[in-house]
Amino acid sequence: MKTVNITVEQGTLEGELKGSCMIFRGVPYAKAPVGELRFKAPQDAEAWSGVRKATEFAPICPQPVLNDGFYGKEFYTDPKYPVPEQSEDCLYLNIWAPENKKPGGCPVAFWIHGGAFDHGWSSEMEFDGMQYALRDTVLVTVNYRVGVFGFMALEDLRREDPNKSVGNYGILDQIKALRWVRKNIDRFGGDPDRITVFGQSAGAISVQTLISSPLTRGMIHSAIMQSGGGYAGPLIKDVKPEEAYQTGKKIMDALGVRYVRELRNVPAQKLVSILPDLYKNVQGLPFSPVQDDWVLTEGFNECIENDHIHDIPYMIGCTRNDISIEEGTDGRKSALFKSITDFADQRNANSEEPVYVYYFARSLPGDEAGSFHSSELWYMFGTLDRCWRPMERHDYTLSISMMDMWTDFIKNADPGKGWRAYNQESHFIRQLM
């Protein structure tokens, strides 16, 4: 393995040099949230002496393993890409960057994985940054706390927080990672003033949270929301602390504990093992960002209506057979797709920044699942060769086109290839199929 060293504010990292791409895996962006730091906002990463190896992906937050069913087969059971070790010491990110730095720096793509806020990780087999680096873009993928670790809410936890924040540890992790990137990404040839935050499913809801939060003002250049963001959509809701406390109480009851000090001593896997029973009594996502008056100071729709979301370019869309879209119906007539075009309409009423809308309608070969939720990930990361499906020449052509569009938007706030912004004059929707 050829290696390359880069020094960040905490110390020197040794990454892999693969072709013309530098890859740094398992880079710590925060202190391990263990012991007394469980259920607290992330702390600054600690410095190290000597050279720290960054050639292997880091552990992921403890979570249920999806080793069966449709999504297990699709993303999680290939022995060539085993599920990483699980540990609460999970606050790490990965970086793919061109070896040759460009004048002024390359744009940065900051990827937030999905997984219903209770599973998923930054190094899943469908994610890879090589094709982004080859297109002169620095890609960063981020682990954050999920499940109970990332979204536990109790009144006692709010009282002990200096900012009176609660239930948003996973989101605060993402913000911490974003701040680390802004401070350090120039060492990798990235431009800290051109960061596009993008994500899919819960990752898209995370993006909508970040572009709605006063804590990230001025930190994000543009944003992409895939199958999750929107205005008054079926997948996103406002969660008040009181509602989150109810879930927190159910968790405490399931664990048989009464106090935060006891909660911090519960073995990590026990916090995972209670989830199946918890979900039997919870409607929708059991864990979501909380409107806590620190991370979020108003509801998602209210923030859009009041023109308080970041005034930046957006790209937003979904798939034809996406989650919440009934089988056999036209996805473009669904509540999910309406929330996407309504988001664009709201932005057009308040801003001159463009909104680009897409509709992914390629039926993937190999079964009858169609354009299912998450299906576009194989294409926009250029990882079709990792998928079990008998991909066709057309799939590879589509993938190349989508990677060009995504990186062109990240570079220029314009995905190119004749894709026009969605506005009152042109309700243009890019169909990807």
pLDDT in tens, 108-150: 999 999 999 999 999 999 999 999 999 999 999 999 999 999 9
Mean pLDDT rounded to a whole number for the chain: 97
Rounded Cα gap, residues 179 and 173, in angstroms: 10
State the pLDDT confidence band at 380, using cuts at 50, 70 and 90. very high
pLDDT band at 281 (very low <50, low <70, confident <90, very high): confident
Going 266 to 271 to 272 to 275, the CA torsion angle's sign is positive
Two tokens, residue 373: 């939720």
Phi and psi torsions of 53, nearest 5°: -70, 135
pLDDT score recorded for residue 286: 87
Considering the segment(s) 3-432 as one domain, its CATH architecture is: 3-Layer(aba) Sandwich (3.40)
CA 336 to chain centre: 19
Question: Which pLDDT band holds residue 84 (cuts at 50, 70, 90)?
Answer: very high
82 pLDDT higher than 90? yes
Measured CA to CA, the distance from residue 246 to residue 249 in angstroms comes to: 5
- Going by C-alpha positions, the residue among 291, 287, 292 that lies closest to residue 250 is 287
pLDDT digits (tens, 9 = 90+) for 143-169: 999 999 999 999 999 999 999 999 999
324 token code pair: 């919440």
Confidence of residue 373 (pLDDT cuts 50, 70, 90): very high
CB 123 within 8 A of CB 115: no
Of the pLDDT bands very low, low, confident and very high (cuts 50, 70, 90), residue 353 is: very high
pLDDT band, very low/low/confident/very high, at 285 (cuts 50, 70, 90)? confident
Mean pLDDT over 284-311 rounds to 96
Cα separation, 207 vs 226, whole angstroms: 9
Q: What is the pLDDT of residues 188-205, one digit of tens each?
A: 999 999 999 999 999 999
Name the DSSP letter for residue 46.
P
DSSP per residue, 101-148:
PPTT-EEEEEEE--STTTS--TT-TT---HHHHHTT-EEEEE----HH
Q: CA 76, CA 82: separation in Å to the nearest integer?
A: 7
